[in-house]
């Protein structure tokens, strides 16, 4: 599915850590890896040097792991240059990192991460690194809802990344609670909730089994974003992989956006996958 993966690197440590996820995924699916650093006009010498060093470290690491890798350094506008390379090289997936500063902006307005996730002609994995200590995730949390449009790609992404890290996967489903006019919210117990797990999640599990990934299912209730962060904090997950939000800007403003909320509150690293489909 992914034959060419690109990781955008800059002077920040989190971009290098995010690129390490790209490295593992490339190795796991035998894809060619493109490491790119786009230096903006007027960049400081030190900043340039730091980004170059990061690129070099990643390149050496990739080569030592037998990954076909190409390192690119260009001058220009990050978004535009990356876009051109994606078009030219027929890239399947772009990895980009987002910083604490970015996520404080509502809907990441005016961030490169937002530009990439919205406008790239390929799939994009936006990575938020919150902790430098966890180098290899051992337990990945994958929150899923029903009616997924990109189930195959999502399962492939999770499966290959988990296989690369030799991690377990916890599939997590948090349905909206039922409501009754007189009784208010009705919370179902886990046994009943499990009976209502959407069929899509079963399909997702079958894909993971196909990739020989150890997985378990868990359900919870409550506000979706809170349920996800509580689960990750409680079970000490190292990484969360979520699909990108399909809510419109208007709906997000009115009733909130769970993906954005998890991005802000995540207790561990987080990857948001926006599939090309």
Partner 1 sequence: MKIHNLSKEEVLKNLFTSENGLSEHDALSRLSEYGTNEIKETKKKPLYLKFLSQFTHFLALLLWFASALCFLSEYLHPGEGMLTLGIAIIVVIFINAIFSFIQEYKAEKALEALKKLLPFYVKVFREQREKEIYATDVVPGDIILLSEGDKVPADARLIESNDLKVNNASLTGESEPMLRSHEPFDGEFIRSPNIVFAGTSVTSGSGRAVVFATGMSTEFGRIAHLTSAVSSGLTPLQKEIIRTTRILATIAAAVGIFFFILGFLIGRDFWHNFIFAIGITVALIPEGLLPTMTLSLAMSSQRMAKRKALIKTLSSVETLGAVTVICTDKTGTLTQNKMTAVKIYFNKELVDVKDIKNGVADNLLKNAYLCNNSRFMEGQYKGDPTEIALLKLAKEKIGDLQAKRLKEFPFDPDRKRMTTVNFLEGKIKAFTKGATEGLLPLCNTFYFNGNKIPINESLKKSIIDACHIMMDKGLRVLAFAYKEIEETGDNALELKDIENNMTFAGLIGLEDPPRPEVADAIKKCKEAGIKIIMITGDSSRTAVAISREIGLIKGDPIIIEGYEFNRMSDKELIEKIRAEEIIFTRMTPKHKLRVVTLLKEEGEIVAVTGDGVNDAPALKKADIGLAMGISGTDVAKEASDIVLLDDNFATIVNAVEEGRTVFENIKKFITYIFASNIPEAVPYLAYILLKIPLPLTIIQILAVDLGTDMLPALALGAEKPSPYVMKQPPRRMKERLLDLPLILRSYLFLGPIEAAACMFGFFWVLYNGGWTWGIMLSPNNILYLQATTACLTAIIITQIGNVFACRSAKMSVFQIGFFSNRLIFAGIAVEILLQIFIVYHPIGNKVFATSPLDFKVWLTLIPFSIALLIADELRKFYVRKFN
Could you list the residues that contact partner 1 (CB under 8 A)?
11-14, 16, 46, 99-101, 129-136, 181-184, 187, 189-190, 216, 218, 222, 226, 229-230, 233-234, 236, 261, 264-265, 267-268
- Residues 180, 59: Cα–Cα separation, whole Å: 57
Beta carbons within 10 angstroms of residue 148's beta carbon: 19
DSSP string for 143-182:
E--SS-S-HHHHHHHHHHHHHHHT-EEEEEE-PPPEEETT
Nearer to partner 1, 122 or 272 (CB): 272
CB of 249 to partner 1, least distance (A): 19
CB of 139 to partner 1, least distance (A): 12
Please list, residue by residue across 166-178, b when 16 or more beta carbons sit within 10 angstroms of its beta carbon and e when fewer do. Answer: ebbbbbbbbbeee
CB of 212 to partner 1, least distance (A): 20
Nearer to partner 1, 64 or 189 (CB): 189
CB of 122 to partner 1, least distance (A): 26
Nearer to partner 1, 215 or 275 (CB): 215
CA angle, 93 as apex, 91 and 98 as ends, to 5°? 125
Nearer to partner 1, 81 or 229 (CB): 229
Give SS3 for 123: strand
């Amino acid at each position: 599915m992914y034959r060419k993966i690109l990781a955008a690197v800059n002077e920040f440590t989190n971009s290098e850590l995010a690129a390490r996820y790209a490295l593992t995924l490339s190795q796991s699916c035998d894809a060619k890896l493109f490491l790119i650093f786009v230096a903006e006009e007027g960049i400081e010498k030190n900043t340039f040097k730091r980004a170059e060093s990061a690129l070099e470290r990643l390149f050496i690491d990739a080569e030592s792991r037998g990954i076909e890798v190409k390192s690119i350094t260009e001058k220009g506008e990050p978004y535009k240059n990356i876009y051109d390379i994606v078009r030219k090289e027929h890239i399947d997936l772009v990895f980009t990192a987002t910083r604490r500063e970015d996520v404080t902006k509502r809907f990441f307005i005016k961030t490169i991460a937002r530009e990439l996730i919205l406008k790239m002609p390929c799939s994009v994995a936006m990575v938020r690194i919150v902790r430098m200590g966890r180098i290899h995730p051992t337990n990945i949390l994958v929150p899923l809802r029903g009616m997924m449009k990109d189930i195959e790609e999502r399962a492939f992404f999770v499966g290959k990344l988990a296989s690369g890290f030799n991690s377990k996967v916890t599939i997590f489903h948090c349905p909206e609670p039922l409501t009754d006019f007189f009784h208010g919210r009705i919370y179902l117990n886990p046994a009943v909730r499990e009976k209502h797990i959407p069929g899509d999640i079963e399909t997702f599990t079958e894909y993971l089994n196909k990739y020989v990934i150890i997985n378990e299912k868990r359900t919870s209730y409550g506000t979706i974003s809170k349920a996800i962060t509580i689960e990750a904090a409680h079970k000490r997950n190292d990484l969360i992989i979520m699909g990108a939000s399909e809510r419109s800007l208007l709906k997000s403003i009115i009733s909130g956006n769970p993906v954005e909320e998890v991005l802000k509150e995540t207790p561990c690293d987080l990857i948001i996958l926006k599939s090309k489909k």
